[in-house]
Amino acid sequence: MGEYKTYRPKRKILKWLYLYVFMWFTGRAIKIAAKVDDEVKKEFDSIPNNFNVALEVLPYGPALVVGKTEDGKVQYLGSSTKDKKIDLRMIVHNIENAMQLFTFQESTAISFMRNRLYLDGEIPYAAAFVRVFDAVEVYLLPKIIAKLAVKRYPAWSLIRKLSGRVKIYLRAGIGV
């Protein structure tokens, strides 16, 4: 009998760290955006209570888990899907694909098209979550970068964009 060596994918520590920090901050920003932006709030209203969504990178993570509690509050549930009830998964095939997506070399839509990102769950909720994600990216990123990340950069008023951006950065940063 021959000997067979088991190969395990190597962790790419720096890329993993970048994604961990990006997804951690974006998860917290989503929670705050649901409080300060009416459109994001409306999107979460269309998602049932007690419903969790995970955006995760295969095979070792990280992940971004957000959900709605029994009483409809939007929560950031951390960077791991372990031991969590996940109702909708948006899965990035590997860390390189995740880097393309989260360094804005391609938009969420193009990631779907190129099968770098796939869904496990109901599509209407995924569509709502993508709209939330797009709105948060518009708040967090300068226009020149956000335009690469979303399909259509929205014509928001400067006041909406700036006040939302300040609130989200401050509150996501200090975690309230």
Partner 1 sequence: MYLPEYCEFLSPVQIASGHHVLEKIPGFLKALNAKRPLILADKGVTAAGLIGIVEDAIKDNVQIGAIDDDVPPDSDLKVVSRLSDVYRKNNCDAIIAVGGGSVLDTAKGLNILVSEDADNLMEFAGANKLKRPLKPFIAIPTTAGTGSELTMAAVIADHDNFIKILFGSRFLLPDIAIIDSRMTLTLPAFFTAATAMDAMTHAVESYICLQKNPLSDAHALSAISLISKNLLNVIRKPDDQEGRLLLAKAATLAGMAFSNSTVGIVHTLGHSVGGVCGVPHGTCMSIFLPYGLEYNYHLVNPFIAELLFPLAGPEVYADTPENKRAEKTIEYIRQLNQDLHDATGGRHARFLSEILNRDGEQMVKKSHFDAIARISIGDGTKFYNPEEIDYDDSMLVLEASWDGRPLNRNLVKKNA
Span of 3-11, 70-78, 106-114, 168-176 interacting with partner 1 by CB under 8 A: 106-114
Pairing relationship of beta strands 63-68 and 88-92 according to DSSP bridges: unpaired
Cβ atoms of 95 and 19 within 8 Å: the answer is: yes
DSSP 144-160: HHHHHHSSS-----HHH
Q: Which helix (H) or strand (E) holds 16?
A: helix 13-36
Q: Does 58 contact partner 1 by CB under 8 A? A: no
Residue from 17, 45, 46, 69 binding partner 1 (CB under 8 A) = 46
Looking up tokens 């335009």, which residue turns up?
147
Residues between 108 and 167 that touch partner 1 (CB under 8 A) = 109-110, 112-115, 118-128, 130-131, 147, 150-156
- Three-state secondary structure call for residue 12: coil
Closest distance between partner 1 and the C-beta of residue 4, in Å?
26
Q: Does 55 contact partner 1 by CB under 8 A? A: no
Question: Residues in the site for partner 1, rule: CB under 8 A?
Answer: 46, 109-110, 112-115, 118-128, 130-131, 147, 150-156
